[in-house]
A and B are shown apart, each in its own frame.
Chain A
Amino acid sequence: MTTHVPGDTLVSLNAVNKHYGQLHVLKDINLQVRKGEVVVVIGPSGSGKSTLCRAINRLETIEGGTISIDGKVLPEEGKELAQLRADVGMVFQSFNLFAHKTILENVTLGPIKVKGVAKAAADKDAMALLERVGVGHQAPKLPAQLSGGQQQRVAIARALAMKPKVMLFDEPTSALDPEMINEVLDVMIQLAKEGMTMIVVTHEMGFARKAADRVVFMADGQIVEDATPEEFFTNPKSDRAKDFLSKLLTH
């Protein structure tokens, strides 16, 4: 469905491993995402897909393997890590807008404090982004005054304000009321059409069909299938994926 042609590898995970105590949550994960690609990660809960997403900007540490972004291996800590994170946009399940800052400040804080953009320019960019996600008129409010769908769109604008190379979405619609899911998905589909590189952990199969270049299916900490949405939804190869899809379709 997407019109753009994917380019060079932007995000690369090689033999990534992680344990939570006894639990092996990421088992030898290999995944390459190219520039402009939209990769949707699906799988049953506890399959490690959120951990995978969070590991890409090192909100979760990993024990083995390497993760690199645009050719640079993720640093352990410090200034280099902060710099790399500024290039990776992250959207959380629970929005995590800064509760004590206005909507506008939420979007401008990163550009001003991290990139040193002048306030006037940052305000202008932020207003354009807020208009783009349809919440421009909410700019002076505090996050708690907005609905979940509006907050999540602000969170997307906040991430975009850093002009990231890749956007990570960690179950962006799972905390939303059903009638608000579409307003967020529409923004994401638009973003995908514009050629943003995206890694999306979601349960929204409709989004996967509509916007994904690839579907990655995870179960028990492993990548079980990696296929186009067409292939995956019509002809899944593994029993695990067949089982997962059958449960979705019967409800």
Chain B
Amino acid sequence: MDVIIENLPLYWNGFLRTLFLSAVSGIIALVLGTLLAAARVSPVAALRGFSTVYVEVLRNTPLTIAFFFAAIVLPRLGVKFEQFEIAAIIALSTYTAAFIAEAVRSGVNSVPVGQAEAARSIGMNFGQVLNLIILPQALRTVVPPLINILIALVKNSSVAGAFFVLELFGYGRQLANANGDAVIAVLLGTAFFYLLLTVPLGILASTVERKVAIAR
């Protein structure tokens, strides 16, 4: 236990970095995922095709592959970053966006088709139907699964530790190496700080689920 208390500042630093990594990737993934879902239900066949291929490829390949692409392939293609952290954010947000797109799409499908028909018949265009009628209703059903995806994102961000990004898991690994006699305590400490992030998210999910149930 002394190991944890002695290294509390380090843990705290790692916690903040994980929080930062997850928050930035999460926001980008939410925006990108919603756009992908919109493309998936749009009347333009090319957009639907692109979105489908994107989602299927990223959803069905391991996250480490996304990291390898962002950290190693992208720089060879001329995209240079100052820090690996940027590569981690690219990998995490593009990967997570695929799951968010699927969740939002299923939410869109849960809104009765008559809602869109009524909106179209008063002269709304595709964007208005989506933004004013479908998404506000879809988001209510989508919030719980979205939070699950964000919980997974927080945990997935630990992969960045293996790519020289110092976050919670990265620091944990350093500490474990430096304190060979207290590995279990070090790892428990690391796990505790992850729980500090994910458990409140889970509680938030169930609260929101109870609050936003829409009456029909």
Residues of B within 8 A of A104 (CB): none
- Binary flags per residue of B96-136, CB closer than 8 Å to A gives 1, else 0: 00000000000000001011011111111100100011001
Pick from A92, A114, A145: contact of B118, CB below 8 A: A92
B118 touches A162 (CB 8 A): no
A85 touches B115 (CB 8 A): no
Q: Is B77 an interface position by the 8 A CB rule?
A: no
Q: Within the complex, what minimum Cβ distance (angstroms) separates A88 from chain B?
A: 7
Q: Is B22 an interface position by the 8 A CB rule?
A: no
B215 touches A82 (CB 8 A): no
Taking CB as reference atom, which chain A residue is nearest B128? A113
Known A99-B137, A99-B215: A82·B123 in contact at CB below 8 Å = yes
A92 touches B122 (CB 8 A): no
**Residue of B43, B121, B140 most packed against chain A (CB within 10 A):** B121
Known A92-B117, A92-B118: A162·B123 in contact at CB below 8 Å = yes
Taking CB as reference atom, which chain B residue is nearest A113? B128
Q: Is A129 an interface position by the 8 A CB rule?
A: no
How many B residues, CB 8 Å from partner? 22
Q: State the CA gap A87–B121 with chains docked (Å).
A: 9
How many A residues, CB 8 Å from partner? 32
**Residue of A78, A98, A99, A113 most packed against chain B (CB within 10 A):** A99
Residues of B within 8 A of A158 (CB): 118, 122
Known A77-B43, A144-B216: A96·B123 in contact at CB below 8 Å = no
B123 touches A100 (CB 8 A): no
Residues of A within 8 A of B128 (CB): 113-114
Q: Within the complex, what minimum Cβ distance (angstroms) separates B162 from chain A?
A: 44
Pick from A92, A99, A109, A162: contact of B132, CB below 8 A: A109
Residues of A within 8 A of B136 (CB): 100
Q: Within the complex, what minimum Cβ distance (angstroms) separates A140 from chain B?
A: 15
B132 touches A96 (CB 8 A): no
B117 touches A59 (CB 8 A): yes
Q: Is A235 an interface position by the 8 A CB rule?
A: no
Mark B residues whose CB is within 8 Å of A. 43, 112, 114-115, 117-125, 128, 132-133, 136-137, 140, 214-216
**Interface CB pairs A-B, < 8 A, 15:** A59-B117, A59-B121, A82-B123, A82-B125, A89-B121, A90-B122, A92-B114, A96-B118, A99-B214, A99-B216, A100-B136, A144-B215, A144-B216, A159-B121, A162-B122
Mark A residues whose CB is within 8 Å of B. 57, 59, 77-79, 82-83, 85-90, 92, 94, 96-100, 109-110, 113-115, 142, 144-145, 155, 158-159, 162
